[in-house]
Chain A
């Protein structure tokens, strides 16, 4: 285990010291302790290296060696017109955070049914909410994960959602995190706490986007607690600019017969790591993890799943589709842990990847740790290129090569789209995916499979 010396900690220590002096809730003993323990943990563990099994395929040195600072105190003013394209039709609420800070003038929470609270975390901290001290930080572990530890040390703002027992929220709740240029490089640590009581239902869309460029790190942690028989759909959309580092952790805690779907879309960002960690803590729980990552240029998109079956009769499904072009690098690490007493576990994991260029790369790794003896656990991965026969078939019907490629890319991505529940969120995401796939259809480089015949044709 590599530790970070006090010297290396340099900026972070200074940042933390400054932060503690002015952070919301600095005088709340439990919160102070939470932050201090977390920072100490971060200092001991340090940023991961490639020797760390969970980070084998992702080099975070660019993050480790950058001297990030917290954003300036003054809130960046954004004209509302800038945000109109990031709007889900008919959403129940939209909370906007600019550089990690809640912007009430850009937000609305006007179409929520009774029994639903959607506010900023900061507001909850300053309001001395009871829920907070008993829930915040109780799920996402700072033990092994430096990024979770760092986020916990610096947590101050983000979304707080609480849906009371039996309440159904039909329309999606949109949490929009916008990064706007600061004196580079800057970091934000959005912290979201999403609580769904027994038998409640809701859809949350967490979106990370940017206006302009700059070197920045968004390191978010979302704790999602689903009570018994609750039905929750969570969407994570990453579409920041190419200089952005984005690390996100979704820690899910499921009660009896709770049903949680996590849909994640890694479309933007330069170096991206998305952790999804559901714990099926109650019997009969169901979890669907549905993901799509689309990489081009030099993007690095790392998807880390850690599904824990901690109770009997639970089922989990992981379906990840990746499309990689140019020099992009994708990673899928699917870990399934079945605890000793989690009998009758039904777990399935599939990762399908499409490589569009000779230099695109995918690392796909299943990891099954099974300690119970009556379980069903399968995994599979495929890596391929666009099917030449399919391309020819489409062209033989009159479609141009570009149109045919696009159709096949959409078809591949549609597997992911079809796993979302029909509704406003699905429409929003589908349009987004279409837009991101459009530039990929133009690429005329082929993934190499000794197609000598094709080369001759082009020369001849």
Chain B
């Protein structure tokens, strides 16, 4: 069974159609990348998968491990295994990073009928992941993302991913705004999570991230449609020729 199956997905926002018939199949263990120019609908796709209701599905279907994803609320999709690493993670004063993480983990464990983790058990588990992402434990007592630099916020997203252990991780332009060191750390974190039971959808504008997180498949999204799909070498071609080339090719067909 495929992990994620998107069929003829049409999505509108405020009456404008952004996604105009997306077809995409992601199997277990695969890493797919979606690349495209600004405004192509990349973030929209990511947000729809996380069930943001401002994005209106007008046609098509999405199944997650056989279940109807579009029928799910955000928390249900999360508990069923979807994780969205946000492009712009929100700051929430008054909730500490550590408290938030444990609450989220326990919410998902409760959903799966597992025992909740208390603070004592959570700590060593948590510390191990912090080390992997080279994050200071002191940051964890601060409010969620408050005062974090762009790089720290993105690393915090990957930290959450490593604690929540999702089946289908969607990364929304995780590389934007990162310097080379932060990029390396984030990529390490993601690569460390790669497994036959986990799939990734990496949404990115620049090819650079894909040097670190090597995709199995690359899809090019232009103006709400996937115009071309291929292997990792497609990303290099795009880097070389830009997005205009694909648009021209598609127009010629």
Contacts and interface: CB of A to CB of B under 8 A. Distances in A.
Nearest to A412: B94
Nearest to B111: A398
Interface in A401-425: 401, 403-404, 407-408, 410-415
Contact of B78 (A398, A411, A413, A453): A398
A392 B108 contact: no
A400 interface: yes
Contacts of A404: 75
B107 A397 contact: yes
A69 to B, nearest CB: 45
Interface string B1-31: 0000000000001100000000000000000
A400 B95 CA distance: 16
Contacts, number: 83
B82 to A, nearest CB: 8
Given A393-B92, A410-B94, A454 B53 contact: yes
B218 to A, nearest CB: 25
A389 interface: yes
A329 to B, nearest CB: 25
Contacts of B160: 397
A117 to B, nearest CB: 40
Interface string B85-98: 01001101111000
Nearest to B53: A457
Q: Number of contact residues on A: which range applies?
A: 20 to 34
A26 interface: no
Interface in B102-118: 103-105, 107-108, 111
Contact of B103 (A393, A407, A414): A407
B226 interface: no
Interface in B136-170: 143, 160, 164
B53 A395 contact: no
Interface in A294-312: none
A2 interface: no
Contacts of B164: 397-398
A390 B107 contact: no
A396 B50 contact: yes
A426 B83 CA distance: 37
Interface of B: 13-14, 50-54, 56, 73-75, 77-79, 83-84, 86, 89-90, 92-95, 100, 103-105, 107-108, 111, 143, 160, 164
Q: Which 5 A-B pairs have the closest CB atoms?
A: A411-B94, A397-B104, A395-B74, A398-B78, A398-B107
Given A396-B51, A396-B78, A404-B75, 17 more contacts: A387-B90, A389-B90, A390-B92, A393-B92, A395-B73, A396-B77, A396-B84, A397-B160, A398-B79, A398-B104, A399-B75, A399-B103, A401-B73, A411-B92, A414-B94, A414-B95, A457-B56
